Chains A and B, each alone.
Chain A
């Protein structure tokens, strides 16, 4: 990750259009299924997904269709494209029909905001107390924390993060990120 000093992207006198180090993207609808299973149902879920559910704390694994994020010893958030959600729900229902489980569609419960670019990390570090160093929170990891006064789930991407935030908090987090990103020349992208 390229280094980025706090003032790298400040617009200086004579430089009205400084470079932008970070983009904020509203991902609108990302399919999300909250899954709670224990015991043999964990393996059964893996068979349905095409990969084993991650059992190491704060890790995420997936394939081209879905990504499963560890939330707790018996809880995962499975993320997919919005269009794939119905099929995913169906596949889970089939695979888990003989197991106690709760697969709940929570797609509409959270907004997903993508913070992308070289300065994504320092922007996030302004409100999230976690260690965001790629060694601790890089691709393959997932974290549940807070951003300013809102709970968030952080899913690192190649250069940046997908931030999952409860729907009712989304406008607050959006405003907070734009404010925090101002010094890094944050821009909103479609």
Chain B
């Protein structure tokens, strides 16, 4: 289709680069440099959306992110992006865009019937209507979500990449308009690192949309020169297409950048979150033009005057053939003059002020534009497109005149964009002369300049920006002397007076918040119903709560509330701006935290061997550990059973590399160990190891493990896999803050050592041929440590056991882990050596009655509860000792660790099952404990379980009951938790 509304000349579009795009299935042409909105307007399309609640036809209203109406869906399939502002979608060849929230079509939308019922849908409609019956809300919600709303998110995986990056800067400048650009330039000249972010494709801000001059030349030339100089500075960076959406503590500002659209193929990334850390922030976010409340103010063809001016100046597009400008301020005359200059017939300027008489109104009159002063627009005509407006004197609605037009450009003054200032903690102050909020209290590290500060003249924007940039650089520590910017902005003087923002009503629909379909009547109703607080009125009516966050409607609503409450605006107060300034996609927030990159997968030095063997893995913290090594056709349980049998009857091999390991050295090392374990360690001789119980300050078991004394002042402590980091930090904390008397040094060596555990009666035969260490029981007894070589590798061997059978834990430097493992497998081949995983490990240790911290403990279990009372030292002091003497730490209410044998030996109890004294149909039953570990024991050939049971040691031989969720109650006998080799003959042999 032809671009009938494209002006013959002007604009920053590239007339040599036509682009074709689809809107609602119809192909249109636009130009490089267009937004979707400007391209649609060039084709005479205003109607692009149906409104949120009433499905009213809506047209393009704004020029950028402030757009409340023109929300469209872009892309197809999985790449659909709902709720894109047509005004912020960069046109690309082949762009596919569709209107949303209508059925069957944009032009004929059945949902618009709700507009006829709108008296029913007043403020608080949901609260008043959907009150019952109970449970019916689910249906109502489904209905409401279908009828009302915005776009739909695609339910396919997002095919695009989203990135994150950190950026640090001395001075962050938000907004590349005249104030921001001059701030960035003067900060950069001072030598500061500068980052300039702006949501537009090119810098310039309002200078792109207007016809100002600087130093006698078009302002846009100055923009080009300033940008070029900035780009030459070594430490200045400029992000275009980047929205600063949130300002947080300590100069942290979150921004999102969208990629340059490509016409072919995929962009490498679609959006990038920039985590910016700034020493100083200059907020030059500009201002957003305010609409006026009048009857029929949502008719397509109605738009902000600044938008109509921008479409003409920046995109070479006439938003209509014949325009009426509805104004309450002088700046609207600039819009009118620019429209006239572009060739749009300006039928009239309807000015709410009784006597517009400054330079600009005079200029307009000179150009032959009719000015209706003291008038208001009191109605609009047309359905899906404006055909005429009705204007009348403010004080006499009967003297109505109808002015035919297809464009109504509305200007109610300007609102500084103070959202990020509010995020940073600033409290705005009301400036009555501007009918707007301006910066009040200081905000952390932030200076606000230009029209964001309520300074609306170009000269002030340039001068204040330049000064603010230099000052920000100075505060950040940069004082290099610099030539100051000398800029002369020539502009006709504007009359600063602002008229009312509300036109007289004749009973028509008057929207305050176009996005959420909130009318003036809704707000007045809210006040009548008692919602007098601004925050309550907001939530009751949903005014300002849409995705646009009230960018155009906020201040209008305040003036309505002010009138309804009979209070001045400052007394009414304001709602609070919170991040994000502009909606941010979930994809952008997630970034590359997707797939395998979400959580690190820690691998042991032998991991590749396990993987080659087809091991089943299980996550343990961030580690992946081999759970079992099933043979083809074997289930995990069968594999574990086979592995347990091998470790009991011949020999098994286990990868224990994940165990936490801490090297502890220094003259105070022995004293330290004695303080962190509740059992005695001072007597431990070099070359020996001991199992230690570590309590928290609360006396509860925190961690456990074997610690070996390598030398008089040198220990090797092992911790649980999960406790490795926390135990290290905890002991370091004690050393640094409380135990300054001890000279001890900790070094984490978890990752330095690969650990392979040989376990089973044949372990000695497997290790013997590989090592120079004497393995004879007398020479190397249980709980001893030896250093030597294994398979030619330097090794530390600990004779400890977590299975209850003869066992050696062999440590070698991690680079040799795989070689050690393969050598052991080779040496064990004649003995049927079998690698075993964590499932078999758990069965083996449960058979032997060994605890696992986190299974048999849960932060409320003392050593006494576990039956380890005899280990607890009586004389020395240790962490948790005092807590153990508290009342309640002993007595019949404590739970004890016991074993459970089900009456039916084939039965395996579920872990976590609750235990009761006697079965009953009456629920709830008093619970006396729970199952902590439970397995089918290949060695005992029956189900075994460990449990914590109230006063359990006094209940030996008692039958207890375990009610099941999915079947009859199970009976079990309380027994010792050591099922296998209670005399330790196999372990110590």
Contact = CB atoms under 8 A, between A and B. Distances in A.
A164 B193 CA distance: 29
B596 A175 contact: yes
Contacts of A129: 166, 275, 277
Contacts of B592: 176, 179-180
B667 interface: yes
A106 B814 CA distance: 10
B749 A106 contact: yes
A166 interface: yes
A167 B751 contact: yes
Contact of B268 (A10, A29, A34, A107): A10
Contact of A133 (B168, B269, B605, B815): B168
Interface residues of A, number: 47
A29 B815 contact: yes
A179 B594 CA distance: 11
Interface in A132-164: 132-133, 136, 148-150
A148 B667 CA distance: 38
Contacts of A104: 663, 665, 747, 749, 752
A109 B597 contact: no
A108 interface: yes
- With most chain A CB atoms within 10 A of its CB, the pick from B168, B752, B814 is B752
A102 interface: yes
B129 interface: no
B599 to A, nearest CB: 7
A7 B168 CA distance: 19
Contacts of A167: 605, 751, 814
Interface stretch (A48-56, A62-70, A87-95, A120-128): A120-128
A101 interface: yes
Contacts of A126: 163-166
A172 B601 contact: yes
A101 B743 CA distance: 9
B167 interface: yes
Contacts of B601: 171-172
B745 interface: yes
A109 B752 contact: yes
Contacts of B602: 166, 168-169, 172
Nearest to A168: B602
Contacts of B260: 7
A34 B747 contact: yes
Contacts of A6: 163, 165, 272
A105 B814 CA distance: 12
A168 B752 contact: no
Given A105-B752, A167-B814, A125 B600 contact: no
B667 A100 contact: yes
Interface string A1-43: 0010011001001000000000000000100001010100000
A182 B168 CA distance: 22
A110 interface: yes
B767 to A, nearest CB: 22
Nearest to B605: A167
Contacts of B623: 168
A83 interface: no
Interface string B737-756: 00000010111111111000
B166 A169 contact: no
Contacts of B814: 108-109, 167
Contacts, number: 117
A6 B259 CA distance: 10
B683 interface: no
Contact of A109 (B259, B275, B749): B749
A110 B592 CA distance: 24
Interface in B694-750: 713, 743, 745-750
Contact of A168 (B597, B713, B751): B751
Nearest to A123: B165
B268 A183 contact: yes
A44 to B, nearest CB: 15
B579 interface: no
Contact of A171 (B165, B193, B603, B713): B603
Nearest to A9: B268
Contacts of A29: 815
B500 interface: no
A102 B164 CA distance: 40
Contacts of A109: 748-752, 814
Interface string B164-176: 1111100000000
B193 A133 contact: yes
B813 A107 contact: yes
A109 B748 CA distance: 9
B166 A108 contact: no
B270 to A, nearest CB: 12
A168 B747 CA distance: 17
B801 interface: no
Interface in B645-669: 663, 665-667
Contacts of B887: none
A104 B667 CA distance: 16
Interface string B631-646: 0000000000000000
Nearest to B816: A108
A176 B597 contact: yes
Contacts of A3: 234
B743 A100 contact: yes
B264 interface: yes
B924 interface: no
B265 interface: yes
B269 A183 contact: yes
B739 to A, nearest CB: 14
A7 to B, nearest CB: 7
B600 A108 contact: no
A131 B166 CA distance: 8
Given A29-B815, A109-B750, 15 more contacts: A13-B264, A13-B265, A101-B665, A102-B663, A105-B813, A106-B747, A106-B752, A108-B813, A122-B165, A125-B166, A125-B167, A129-B275, A131-B277, A166-B751, A182-B268
30 contacts: A3-B234, A6-B165, A7-B268, A13-B262, A29-B815, A101-B665, A102-B663, A102-B746, A104-B747, A104-B749, A104-B752, A105-B752, A106-B749, A108-B752, A108-B813, A109-B752, A125-B165, A126-B163, A126-B166, A128-B166, A129-B275, A131-B168, A148-B600, A166-B751, A168-B604, A171-B603, A175-B597, A180-B592, A182-B268, A183-B268
Interface of A: 3, 6-7, 10, 13, 29, 34, 36, 38, 74, 100-102, 104-110, 122, 125-133, 136, 148-150, 166-169, 171-173, 175-176, 179-180, 182-183
Closest 8 CB pairs of A and B: A102-B745, A168-B602, A36-B745, A108-B814, A109-B751, A131-B168, A172-B600, A102-B665
